[in-house]
Structure 1
Amino acid sequence: MKIFKKIVALPTLILVALFSCSSGDSGDKNTPNTTSTVVINTEIVGITTLLPNGNGTGVVKFNVSPNNATSYKIVFGDGETLETTTATFTHTYTSSGTKTYEVQVTAFDGLKYFSATKSIVVFVAPTEVWGDEFDVDGAPNSTKWGYDLGAGGWGNNEPQYYTNRLDNAIVQGGVLKIITKKENYSGSSYTSARLLSKGKFSFKYGKVEFRAKMPSGGGTWPALWMLGDNIDTASWPACGEIDAMEHLGNQMNKIYGTLHYPGHSGATADGSTTMISNADTEFHLYSVDWRADYIKFYVDNQLFKTFANTASTPFNDKFFLIINCAIGGNFGGTIDPNFVSSTFEIDYVRVYN
């Protein structure tokens, strides 16, 4: 009789075990079930035959099914996330250009999590977010620019003194003029100006354009560049430096594009050069396209350097703009003994999303 009872009980236990496994509840309700029936429906605003990836606004409408989940978590693929209780929502992509984004939606039904992914291609038209056209004569716009003042070039052994005088920085005829002069001033033998947007404007990612004409004269060292907003706490080069353009009067028409960061700064910086013509007699367009995954340098829209940006570099926080002209020093080199004065002209600065 005991043996018969054991034989009857065994199938019962097997059936209970099978029933438990078929419920789909593994015991870990935080584990996404990627084989679920979650569907991500998208509508990219402004799609037409001519604009297959949208009208440039970057707006995408989402509708997730099933629409009766308790909550949803959405990873949009551009670094932004959303947690919501509704299955219908809208997101605006802001990085200009035509880009592919991997969208992931995780739905929670009160017991389990279910997820799905979808790739979408979105076009975002460039939008100017800040700029200066230098169209008002007089001192540079004080709501956009401040000054670095002093001598020595902050470690570069430059002989100029940076001032905030109209003699060294003035807007005239639609251009900003930074004038480097040979003159005795506060113990220095040259004067110039260094303008910066620190405390007035900074940005993270985007495209910045400078249209400029170089000064002439051996020793001149004009630059269009950016520094990390956290320079006062992180110091240099930990804050990062992006040099959109540097030019040396001793190396006419050679344009430098350079990045400074820990392990790659000063003489070991990460840089490239390109040659142009008429740098000091014609205006040229100097630009940097700065993204989370790359930084690209251009002259007159011609690419000459690409840097692979990663989370380990300091190029993922806000930066401010700098325009200056040094003379001599560690990089500017020998100053022409006949140098008297030269002007660095900037037609405009524009920053796009």
Structure 2
Amino acid sequence: MASPRLLRRCLLAALSAVLAASAAVGTAEADTAAPAGAQAPAVAAAATFSDTFDGPAGAPVDGSKWQLETGDNVNNHERQYYTSGTKNAALDGQGHLVITARRENPAGYQCWYGSCQYTSARLNTSGKFAAQYGHVEARMKIPRGQGMWPAFWMLGTDIGQVGWPNSGEIDVMENVGFEPSVVHGTIHGPGYSGSGGIGAAYSLPGGQAFADAFHTFAVDWAPGSITWSVDGNVYQRRTPADLGGKTWVFDKPFFLILNLAVGGYWPGDPDGSTAFPQQLVVDSVSVTTSDTATGRPIRGLGGKCVDVAGANTANGTPVQLYDCNGTSAQQWTVASDGTLRALGKCLDVTGGGTGDGTKVQLYDCNGTGAQKWVVTAAQDIVNPQANKCLDVTDGSTANGTRLQIWSCTGAANQKWTVG
């Protein structure tokens, strides 16, 4: 049997192919889990980035996608020297990029504090790829040990003109080695940078360490909002309202960065307990933006919209039919992972039910089949797990009518237009 990692790589490759085909012709082939005749979302990809790091062991990263930065970093008092070449960043021949931090200085590199004690690598997509909005994710296994500081993050493409922090910084994932079970997501901008950045932490249950397994770190980024998740579990959402009147600088293009720092103000320096070399193993990086990445209404029976009751973000909030009003409670994103998202959460079949009449709700995104949907060319919205359609209860057009799943009948109360 193929390994889970290999199966996932095949799925990523298939997704990339579907997105490319979608960009060219605006449609995709049928999802085999959907009812006969159903098709994958007919959503044209406006911009995509995908790297699954396939290639022979020891090969460099794809130079058309990434460039290597070199040098030290006095600003954070980090201890490493970032090198070029493949000594600190190379493919492993098994579909991974491996960024390796070593306790060494074979070339006599000079750092801000004198002769460098460590080497590592930092890659970015500046000048090669940038995106404004979308689903940004990396699947990685992080290193362990005091002084380790792996990160997956983004900077505004105008950093050369406006400088940092005016450029803005979106930290999708940072970990400091003294917190093996915790990762952080943060935004930095003018008046809220460095230790004043605005963010939150996510902890694994039961004392598990992030270094023990691969995990997927992501943001869903739309105009005026950024939502963070780990393995599909949403843990924070930030909007301009969180800035206390300071300037939101995240409605413009950003490029990607992957790095493994050693030491610095935040993690502290390595000590006698830190084993070297340490590795950040990256399985995949992807960015998907689409026509719906900024959020669009979903219109149905009577020209009314799919609406989150009261714009309430609490788990279990009813999803209903309501007069279209352009509010955030009616702005839905058709995400690349098959979810439909609003207000930073997912459209969810209550209790994972599969029976006719099971109501739908808003709930934390968790990657389950209860949150997977296929938008068909026939204007059905299908939950493949139940093999049923999104349905307006009793065919009523009254404001507040609950939405549910029901056997697909082709009736008007099951027809939807996205956008």
Would you say same fold, with TM above 0.5? yes
Higher strand share: 1
The one-letter amino acid paired with 1:215 is P
Gap regions ≥5 residues in structure 1? 1-44, 59-93, 95-125
The answer as to whether partners of 1:158 and 1:328 remain within 8 angstroms in 2 is yes
How many residues matched? 240
The match for 1:170 is 90
1:342 equivalenced with 2:263 (yes/no): no
Q: 1:219 aligns with which of 147, 155, 177?
A: 147
Deviation by residue 1:104-138 (Cα, 9 ceiling, x = unmatched): xxxxxxxxxxxxxxxxxxxxxx7871110001131
Partner SS for 1:222:
strand
The match for 1:148 is 69
The one-letter amino acid paired with 2:209 is N
Q: How does 1:158-307 map to 2 (within 5 A)?
A: 158-172=78-92, 173-184=94-105, 185-186=108-109, 187-276=115-204, 277-307=208-238
The match for 1:64 is none
Deviation by residue 1:127-160 (Cα, 9 ceiling, x = unmatched): 8711100011310111110011101x25001111
The answer as to whether partners of 2:224 and 2:250 remain within 8 angstroms in 1 is no
Distance of aligned partners of 1:55 and 1:217 in 2 relative to their CA distance in 1, 3 Å threshold: closer
1:327 equivalenced with 2:262 (yes/no): yes
The match for 1:118 is none
Q: 2:52 aligns with which of 129, 133, 141?
A: 133
The answer as to whether partners of 2:224 and 2:251 remain within 8 angstroms in 1 is no
The match for 1:352 is 288
CA shift at 1:57, angstroms? Answer: 2.9
Q: How does 1:4-83 map to 2 (within 5 A)?
A: 56-58=41-43
Partners of 1:219 and 1:314 in 2: how far apart? Answer: 30
Partner SS for 1:280:
helix
Larger Rg: 1
Partners of 1:350 and 1:128 in 2: how far apart? Answer: 11
CA shift at 1:309, angstroms? Answer: 4.4
Deviation by residue 1:24-78 (Cα, 9 ceiling, x = unmatched): xxxxxxxxxxxxxxxxxxxxx99xxx9xxx97335xxxxxxxxxxxxxxxxxxxx
The one-letter amino acid paired with 1:242 is I
The one-letter amino acid paired with 1:169 is A
Partners of 2:47 and 2:190 in 1: how far apart? Answer: 31
The one-letter amino acid paired with 1:239 is S
The one-letter amino acid paired with 1:335 is P
> What percentage of aligned pairs have identical amino acids?
36
Partners of 1:242 and 1:228 in 2: how far apart? Answer: 9
Higher helix share: 2
Partners of 2:224 and 2:42 in 1: how far apart? Answer: 22
The answer as to whether partners of 2:189 and 2:247 remain within 8 angstroms in 1 is no
The answer as to whether partners of 1:309 and 1:315 remain within 8 angstroms in 2 is no
Partner SS for 2:132:
coil
Partners of 2:249 and 2:136 in 1: how far apart? Answer: 18
Deviation by residue 1:281-337 (Cα, 9 ceiling, x = unmatched): 200000010100310000000001100148941101100000000011111213122
Partners of 2:215 and 2:266 in 1: how far apart? Answer: 22
Distance of aligned partners of 1:136 and 1:299 in 2 relative to their CA distance in 1, 3 Å threshold: same
The answer as to whether partners of 2:53 and 2:284 remain within 8 angstroms in 1 is yes
The one-letter amino acid paired with 1:327 is V
Q: What is the alpha-carbon root mean square deviation over aligned residues?
A: 2.7
Partner SS for 2:211:
coil
Partner SS for 1:242:
strand
The one-letter amino acid paired with 1:142 is G
The answer as to whether partners of 1:231 and 1:239 remain within 8 angstroms in 2 is yes
Partners of 1:336 and 1:131 in 2: how far apart? Answer: 37
The answer as to whether partners of 1:292 and 1:309 remain within 8 angstroms in 2 is no
The match for 2:248 is 313
The one-letter amino acid paired with 2:281 is E
